[in-house]
Amino acid sequence: METLWQSVVEAGRMLVSGDLSLYGIIGLSLRVSGISIAIAMAIGVPLGYLMGSRRFVGRRLVQVLVNTGMGLPPVVAGLTVYILLSRTGPVSELWASLSGSIPPRMLFTLPAMIFAQVVISTPLVTGVTAAAIGSVPVELRLQARSLGASSWQEATLVIKEARRGVMAAVVAGFGGIISEVGAVMMVGGNIEGQTRVMTTAIVLESRKGNFGIALALGFILIGIAFVINNGLTALQYSGGRYER
């Protein structure tokens, strides 16, 4: 009990003291997960729109793949990315055979971490977006089309209509990766000042036996998640005066 209270105090002290390495770690977490969620949205929102609004060959298969991907253990995503990017992996071999030079190190870098987080969050964004798009009444689309909307305009309208669901998709995806530890530990390597993020720092401090600091970092992570979700929720419900 004492440790719990002490770590709340410690969390505040760490934030106020302006510890540069702490702010570096927080910044890196936000940067990696922010870029990842942006890429996941760029892939997942259009794909989710297609799945939720169009019939096409193989849609069921895509749906099953996406749903399975939503349940993919992050550490398996991490392992897959690890094997792909390893110096003995296929990407390195391809590089070596094409350029004849030794490939640069790809593991233990930010792009590797982003790659893994995109793999984890894209199915989440896609699946939830598809569900949200699917629940938009078909009449809306028919009406838009009858008024002469292009398919681009129609898509914009439908996504706008389903924006709460789409935001929920983004929140789910972002929550999944900012709190994830197995994959970023594996492909990032938890290198101090380079690839160490909030979650891997928490694991490290707990392994060291610094339970108080580990918990304090946990509180800071929860605090950041709260602030971000607060902002996203505000966006989600903004401009809702025409609705219930």
Partner 1 sequence: MIDRLKGKAIWRFSVVFLAFALVFSLAGCAAEEEPVVEEPAAEEPVEQSNLVLASTTSTQDSGLFDVLIPAFEDAYPEYKVEVIAVGTGAALEMGENKDADVLLVHAKAREEELVANGFGEYREDVMYNDFIIVGPADDPAGIKGMSVTEALVAIADSESTFISRGDDSGTHTAEKNLWSGAGIEPAGDWYLSAGQGMGDVLVMASETPGYTMTDRATYLNMMDDLAVEILVEGDNVLFNQYGVIPVTGAANPEGAEAFAQWVTGDAQDVIKTYGEDKFGQPLFFPNAQ
190 near partner 1 (CB under 8 A): yes
Quick check: 229 and 23 in contact, CB under 8 A? no
Question: Of residues 192, 222, 223, 227, which one binds partner 1 by CB under 8 A?
Answer: 192
206 near partner 1 (CB under 8 A): yes
Distance CA 23, CA 90 (A): 36
19 near partner 1 (CB under 8 A): no
156 near partner 1 (CB under 8 A): no
Distance CA 187, CA 166 (A): 29
Instruction: Closer to partner 1 by CB, 141 or 196: give it.
Output: 196
Please, what is the minimum distance in Å from the beta carbon of residue 220 to partner 1? Answer: 18
189 near partner 1 (CB under 8 A): yes
Instruction: Closer to partner 1 by CB, 124 or 201: give it.
Output: 201
Quick check: 32 and 25 in contact, CB under 8 A? no
200 near partner 1 (CB under 8 A): yes
Q: Exposed/middle/buried for 108, CB within 10 Å: 0-12, 13-18, 19+?
A: middle
Question: Of residues 76, 83, 191, 222, which one binds partner 1 by CB under 8 A?
Answer: 191
> To which residue do tokens 């984890």 refer?
120
207 near partner 1 (CB under 8 A): yes
Distance CA 172, CA 231 (A): 14
What is the CB neighbour count within 10 angstroms for residue 95? 17
Residues lying near partner 1 in the complex (CB under 8 A) are found at 86-87, 105, 107-108, 185, 189-194, 196, 200-201, 204, 206-211
